Amino acid sequence: MTDAPAPTSNGHLVIIGGHEDREHGKTILSRFVELAGGPGANIVVITAASRIADKMWDMYDEAFADLGVTRRSHLELNSRQDANSPEFVRQVAEADGIFMTGGDQRRLLALIGGTALDAEMHAALKLRGATIGGTSAGASAMSGHMLAQGRTDLLPEKGSVSLGAGLGFLHRVVIDQHFSERQRLSRLLTVVAQNPYLQGIGIDEDTALIVERGVGIEVIGEGAVTIVDGRTMITNVSDIADRDTPELIDVRLHLLPAGSSYRLPGSEGPQGAKLPAPLLDFLENVTKRNPIS
């Protein structure tokens, strides 16, 4: 057997906070298409997170058609058997761009987590340099630790959120979406308080965090990305009762508005803005070339 050709791309993640523009300039979806290879790219849309798959597909079919994409297809997964189907796995294996729609991230993971299709998505990103996008639930599912459910309160509350296993394209982070619009800072603070080894990423609507593996990050769209880092914090969370508000001291918060762009030192291409030292560890973590899981 001959060796596979080297990928022409490092592989990208386009992590969208939900409600991205699908009717006008389509800034985020246009960038997803560009990273996948342009209008000639083969793009597959996975609607497994949604119970209204046909309606969701119609919406993205029209948006990608407007962007000139001619090779676009719908993977409608209704069972784990579907996600282990050789035909569906083949479609992912041939895709340049794989896009996961919104809905319920728990449903998405229940259908595809640990399946052959899941493994093929990892291979597409890491071996072929494909582009994987996800919006809303599709964004939350990208990390190894997934925010499965949780209330949004004015203050952090111990025990008010729960995590589940995600797809694992990123590790040691947890992603929340619709962030500013649904006032979810307290929810992300709760996650970090209970799991201080995780960095929290909150992404606003019509905003995307783009991760290029081994290279850097970029924020595009209309809002911002909020990063919550509690790894050096002091907290009493282990000593208080459920539903109490923990004391959180020395929690770091970074705000990256659209237009922010940072690359790792030594990576190829224009370096852009000088990388602030507190962001170096975050970039090294989210851009890490993790082995196929």
Active site residues: 136, 178, 205
Gap between the Cα atoms of 148 and 227, Å rounded: 19
Query: Which residues make beta-bridge pairs with 165?
Result: 145
Separation in Å, CA 67 to CA 21, 29, 56, 71: 12, 8, 17, 11
Strand residue runs (E) in 2-123: 12-16, 42-46, 71-75, 97-100
Residues 6+ apart with CB under 8 A from 41: 33, 69, 71, 96, 97
DSSP 166-179: ---SB-SEEEEEST
Gap between the Cα atoms of 209 and 232, Å rounded: 24
Query: Which residues make beta-bridge pairs with 253?
Result: 228
Q: What is the largest CA-CA distance in the chain?
A: 60
